[in-house]
Chain A
Amino acid sequence: MSALVSSVQPANLARREGAPLVSLNRIAFVLALAAIYVVVPLIGNDYWLNSLVIPTVVMGLAGVGLNLLTGYAGLVSLGSAAFMSIGAFSAYNLLLRAPFLPLPLALIVAGFVAAAAGVIFGLPSLRIKGFYLSASTLGAQFFFEWLFTNFHWFSNNSMSLTISAPRLEFSGYNLTSPAGRYLLVVVTTGLLVWLARNIVNSRIGRDWMAIRDMDTAAAVAGIPIASRKLLAYGVSSFFCGIAGALWAFAYLGTADAHAFDLDKSFQILFIVIIGGSASLFGNFLGAAFIVLTPIVLDLIVLWWNLTDYVDQGSLTNLLRIIFGLIIILLLIKEPDGLSSLIGRLARRLAAWPLRI
C-alpha cells in the first residue's frame, strides 16, 4: 500500500501549483545536472568513466526499462537482456547498412525494433498473469541469443560473430573517447529518464499502476487493459533496446549475443529489486550497487592481501551469495528498495536533531 501511495504522487521535481518557481528542489536538480554533464567529464579519469560510470548509467537505463514494466505495470520479465541484444544488433545493422542515418536516429529506430519484439513476446500477457509470464520472456531470452548466434547475417558474417562499435559521432563531433562516450550515454539516458518520468506521471502511468494494483478494478474503471499491457511491454523494450545498443557500443565496444545472456537479465531484475520497484532514480542506485560490488570485493582482496586464500572462482561465488542475500534481505526488510531507504534517511536528516 505504501508503494502505491508514494508512487502515485507526482515526482518531487514537478512544480506543484502555487509552489515558488525557484524551489530548493529545483536548484538541487540544476546543480546535479551541471555536475553530471559538466563536472564529471572534466574531472573523471578514463578508468572511472570506462569501468564505473558508463556501465552504471547504462545498466541503470536498462533498469528503468524493466522497472516501467515490473514496478509500474506489475508484469514480470526474465528477458530484458534479449531486448537489449535486439537493440544492439538493430543499431549495428542500421548504422552499417544505412550509413546516412545519424546516430541518435539509429538508436531510436533500434529502440522501436526492440519495442516491436517486446510487444510480440508480451502477447501472452493478455491471457495469463503472474510468473507464468516469465516463460514467454524466458523464451525470448533463449530465442534471440540463438538467433543472433546462428544467423550470421546479423553480425555481418563476421567470423567471431561479434558486432563492433561503428564510428560514434554526432554532427561532426567524434564521441569515441571515454568522455565522448560518457556524454553520449548520459545525454541519451537523461532524455529517456525524462521521457519515462513523464510517461509515469501521465495517464498511461496511472493506468499501469491501476492494473498492477488490481486489474479487475482497473478493467471496471474502463482502463483498456490489453492495450496498456502491450504498451508496457513495448515501452519497456524500447528503453532496454537503447540501453543494449549503448552497452554494446559505448561500454563494451565489441559484443556478441552472449554478452546479453540470462545472467544479464537477472542482473537487471536485481537492479530493480535493489533500487526499488516503481522508482526511476532507484534504478541507478541499484545499477551502482551491481557494478560496484564486484570491484569493491576485488579491492578488499587486494588491500588485505587475501589473494592467496581467495581465487577468482570463489570470488564469483561469494558475489552470488552476497547478491542473493541482499535480494532476500531487501525483500523482507525494505521491499521498496534502496530508493525508499534513502528517502527515509533524507527525511530524517531534514528534521535532525529531532525525530519525525
Chain B
Amino acid sequence: MLFFLNVLTSGLLAGLMYAMVAIGFVLIYKASGVFNFAQGSMVLFAALTFVTLNEHGLPFWAAFPLTIVVMIAGAVLIERLVLRPLVNRNPNTLFMATLGLSFVIEGLAQLLLGTDVHQLDLGIDDIPVSVLGLQISAFDLFASAIAVALVAVLAVLFSKTRMGISLRAVADDTLAAQSIGIRLPRIWRIVWSVSGFVALVAGLLWGARQGVQFSLSLVVLKAMPVLIIGGFSSIPGAIVGGLLVGATENLADIYIGPLVQGSVSTWFAYILAVGFLLIRPAGLFGESAIERV
C-alpha cells in the first residue's frame, strides 16, 4: 500500500509539471483558438536562454527578467509575422503554422545557443524528505509550490485586472470583444508573452530535473493528452488533466509495464486521452463546443 502511494505521489508530482506546460497552451487557446504546437519549443528556448545567460555570469535575478524580455520580444515578433497574416484562417492552418514555428524556434535556439546539455541548479536539492510517511523529493515539493503560486497569480490576473477581463472577453466572443474596442493584436501579444513566461517557469523546473536539452521541447507532446483530458479551454482542467496523466502513467508503468515487457509510458497517456475523447469529447472541464456530426 505504501509502495502504491509512493508511486501515486511521484506520478502526481510529474503530472504537475505536465500541467505547467499545458497551462501555456490553454492561455493561447482561450485567447485565439490556436493549438500552439510551438509551446514546447518555447519551453526549450526560454530555458536555454536563461541557462546561457546564467553561465555567462549573470545571477538569477538578472537572467530571469532578461529572459522574460526576450520571450516578450519573441511574442511580439510571432504576432506580427505569423499570426496577423494568418488571421481568419481555419484552425488546422494555424495549427500547422505553429508546427512550422516550433521548427524555427527549436532550430534557432540550438543554432544560437548550442546543442549541449546544460545543468541547471536552482539551489534546491533533489533529496527525499518524509511527508506523512511518504518519500517525496524536496525539489518536487518546491516545484509544486511554484506551480500552485503560478496558477494563483494567473487566476488573480485574469479575474481582477482590466487586461485579464478583456482577455476573457476575447475568449468568450471574439467578434463582440472587437466591437467594443478591444484590440485583438494587443491581446495576442500579451497572451503569447504570458505563455512565454509560463514556458520559462516550466522550462526552469523541467530543466533543473533532467538538464536543459532538446528533449524539453518534446514535453509538448505529453501536453496534448493532458489538454484533451482536462479540456482545452480550462486552466483548472489543465491541472487536473496533468495530475491524472502523471498519476496513471506512473501507475501503468509500474503495474502494467512488466506484463508487456517494458515501459508503457510513451503511449499510455494518448490511449487514455482517446478513451476520454470517446466518453467526454470536451474534456473534464472544457466547454462542449465541439460539434459532432
Contact = CB atoms under 8 A, between A and B. Distances in A.
Contact of B261 (A142, A151, A323): A151
Given A135-B224, A142-B266, A146-B267, A331 B97 contact: yes
Interface in B258-278: 260-262, 264, 266-267, 270-271, 273-274, 277-278
Which A-B residue pairs are the 8 nearest by beta carbons? Answer: A139-B270, A327-B100, A324-B103, A320-B107, A324-B104, A321-B107, A142-B267, A143-B267
Chain A: interface size category: 35 or more
| Interface SS of B by simple majority | helix
A297 interface: no
A136 B97 contact: no
Interface stretch (B12-20, B85-93, B168-176, B197-205): B85-93
B228 A325 contact: no
Nearest to A142: B267
| Interface SS of A by simple majority | helix
Chain B: interface size category: 35 or more
B120 to A, nearest CB: 21
A266 B217 CA distance: 15
A219 B35 CA distance: 27
Contacts of B180: none
B267 A139 contact: yes
A314 B82 CA distance: 24
A273 interface: yes
Nearest to B228: A135
* Residue of B95, B103, B278 with most chain A CB atoms under a 10 A cut-off: B103
A136 B270 contact: yes
A338 to B, nearest CB: 15
A318 B111 CA distance: 7
A207 interface: no
A143 B274 CA distance: 13
B260 A150 contact: yes
B196 interface: no
A136 B93 contact: no
A328 to B, nearest CB: 4
A128 B277 contact: yes
Contact of A143 (B85, B225, B270, B273): B270
Contact of B281 (A132, A143, A151, A218): A132
A135 B100 contact: no
Nearest to A126: B292
A327 B85 contact: no
Given A130-B91, A327-B103, A331-B93, A138 B290 contact: no
A141 to B, nearest CB: 8
Contact of A317 (B92, B110, B261, B290): B110
